[in-house]
Amino acid sequence: MLKVNDLHACYGESEIISGVDLQVDEGKVVCLLGRNGVGKSTFLKSIMGHVRTPSGTIEFNGSRIEKLAPHKRARAGIGYVPQGRDIFPQMTVRENLLLGLEVRGGKGDVEHRIFELFPVLKDMLGRMGGDLSGGQQQQLAIARALVAQPALLILDEPTEGIQPSIIQEIGRVITRLKKEGNMMIFLVEQYLEFVLDIADYCYVMEKGRIVLDGAMGELSVDEIKKRIAI
């Protein structure tokens, strides 16, 4: 599991995350919701080691990781798809996918399973990443993270700026991964309807703190909407 306890995260002297407790269990999909600017993406970056965390603990599969460098957290089994996707536009789809193998020492090849999850990519292996649509780039970014066979997949707003048909495809992939039961999925999202379809558990953040959490079927949807409405 991923277990975060009393985590604080800062940019310079400004504290953005203030004492967050959160847990993601194996085989579960957990979502972090909240308005823009409340610290959701910063929290994901803190899990990956991209933000200073002066206090608190991050435990992953029984080991403390808050002092590890980002690349060591990735090698421990965490796949991260940041907001904005960050694919390499001047590299082909195949080259982008092969980068996912670097976590495993650059050995092996892209598994056929990746193309079962994202069939569109199989026909685009020679195309430059920058020539793909936004939705296709998002699929590529998720696929690249999955190439590394992570135990935990972290997604930062995977539906942002994506057409409805691709959102459905991403939801289908997350649901399939969940049914396979050997991966934890933790995502930040704004699209509540998408979350209601796929998440097992939900946390709501305001000003760097968790103000509401619970199993998806037990939380009041109206209360969630009130907390995340702009």
Position 75 scores a pLDDT of 93
The domain made up of 2-228 is a member of CATH 3.40.50.300: yes
Position 49 scores a pLDDT of 95
d(CA 142, CA 153): 9
22-26, 103-107, 110-114, 218-222: lowest mean pLDDT where?
103-107
As given in the structure block, the two tokens for residue 187 are: 């995502």
Total residues belonging to the chain: 230
Q: What does the pLDDT look like over 149-174, one tens digit per residue?
A: 999 999 999 999 899 999 999 999 99
Position 230 scores a pLDDT of 67
Give me the residues paired with residue 204 across strands. Answer: 33, 212
Residue 203 contacts residue 210 (beta carbons within 8 Å)? yes
d(CA 138, CA 152): 18
Question: For the whole prediction, is pTM greater than 0.85?
Answer: yes
d(CA 162, CA 123): 20
Show me where the domains of the chain are located: 2-228
For the CA atoms of 95, 100, 106, 107, the dihedral, rounded to the nearest 10 degrees, stands at: -100
Q: What does the pLDDT look like over 59-83, one tens digit per residue?
A: 999 999 999 999 999 999 999 999 8
Residue 110: pLDDT band by 50, 70, 90 thresholds?
confident
52-60 and 2-11 strand pairing:
antiparallel
d(CA 158, CA 156): 6
